[in-house]
Copies of this chain bind each other. A is one copy, B any other.
Amino acid sequence: MPASPIRKLVPYAEAAKKRGVKVYHLNIGQPDIETPQMALDAVRHFDFKVLEYSHSAGNESYRRKLSAYYKRSGMDIDYQQIIVTTGGSEAILFAFMSCLDAGDEVIIPEPFYANYNGFAVAADILVKPLTSYIGSGFALPPVAEFEKLIGPRTRGIMICNPNNPTGYLYSSEEMETLRQLILKHDLYLFADEAYRDFCYTGQHIHSLNLQGVEDRVIMIDTISKRYSACGGRIGALITRNQDILDTVLKFAQARLSPPSFAQILGEAACDLPADYFDATRAEYLKRRDVLVSRLNAIPGVYCPNPGGAFYAMASLPVDDTDKFCQWILESFSYENQTVMLAPAGGFYGTPGLGKKEIRLAYVLNTAALHKAMDCLQKALEEYPGKI
């Protein structure tokens, strides 16, 4: 089981804080946006006396509300095609375990969310990384590159759209490419859409709306980012393939039920007004623009403009971002402040890649982002491993 690549730096951040240095956390996707008041209030006002197991697939009332939310978002999904999970994490694990046998392979464009590796180990499947490049803004690799990787054990392609860690939003042409690939090679498409509601440049193409592959698409969802409700641990697996639903339900039954309290929160949040995301989206867009323009103004730094999510990848003029991200916590401060960043190596499946790159999560307000960028700029001036 691989250790989380981001967590390795935690002791250095804790040591910096003990020295009295303020640390701006751009290393994790924990949004600072407030969880919607009405959704928190729904939890406060529960009226049961026994905290019972819910249905293994999630409360029917919640699944019906989710179905309506998907329909409003342009996806025709019945509540019976939804299985509520303990976070998007469990949905990924259930998808791998239900669709794949031990030793089967899934192609994932890299860089990708590092925890996919952990779920792959747990499900005993193999991740085949396919490199996307910062120079092209992390666009989908060409079809020919996919074809090279597809072998007898290849059973699926996994995407995260918009992407964590790159923020890349797949175009309709790229989604059509994926559709043709899964159709031609009889593959599953695992689509992690945790950040679907955070698109700034371009429109989100829903994997569940791809035509002619309805039984090949498994969508992973979560309320963690959408409603800034990471601690609730409520996600969902959605597919139109009844055999997969039947199998996933068996895994869901073995673990009895998803958490009850946060299902209440999720159900209430489905009733938020249609313009709820406008303010959140506007806030993230403002942050993105600050972050990306500040990064690209630093000599030697390059950051492609991400179309969605709240992440950006940047290349730095340093020897090794593992070393740099440790150094900036351990040996640097500016006005008694510093910044915690995620070295990108952990987001690549191919060893050695990402050594010049970092991932930044723009989950702080613009004032804090400016201060964090001041730190980064100064640090790059002082860093002994600058190249």
Contact = CB atoms under 8 A, between A and B. Distances in A.
A90 to B, nearest CB: 7
Interface in A285-311: none
Contact of A251 (B1, B51, B52, B86): B1
A260 B247 contact: no
Contacts of A135: none
A224 to B, nearest CB: 8
A52 B259 contact: no
A197 B138 CA distance: 55
Interface residues of A, number: 55
B250 A3 contact: yes
Contacts of A43: 43, 46, 261
A124 interface: yes
Given A1-B247, A35-B51, A265-B51, A232 B259 contact: yes
B52 A256 contact: no
Contacts of A255: 86-87, 89-90, 93, 115, 118
A118 B35 contact: no
A78 to B, nearest CB: 19
B257 A233 contact: yes
Give this chain's copy count. Answer: 2
A261 B43 CA distance: 9
Contacts of A233: 86, 233, 256-260
A231 interface: yes
A115 B51 contact: no
B231 A54 contact: yes
A30 interface: yes
A13 to B, nearest CB: 14
Given A253-B4, A262-B261, A231 B119 contact: no
Given A31-B50, A124-B124, A265-B51, A259 B247 contact: no
A213 interface: no
A117 to B, nearest CB: 8
Given A31-B50, A35-B49, A122-B97, A254 B40 contact: no
B261 A259 contact: yes
A44 interface: yes
A110 to B, nearest CB: 17
Contacts of A45: 44
Given A51-B35, A51-B265, A231 B260 contact: yes
A57 to B, nearest CB: 11
Interface in A43-67: 43-46, 49-54
Given A44-B44, A51-B265, A261-B232, A89 B256 contact: yes
Interface in A94-120: 97-98, 102, 115, 118-119
9 contacts: A35-B51, A44-B44, A115-B254, A118-B251, A122-B122, A232-B261, A233-B260, A259-B261, A259-B262
Interface of A: 1-4, 7, 30-35, 40, 43-46, 49-54, 86-87, 89-90, 93, 97-98, 102, 115, 118-119, 122, 124, 228-233, 247, 250-251, 253-262, 265
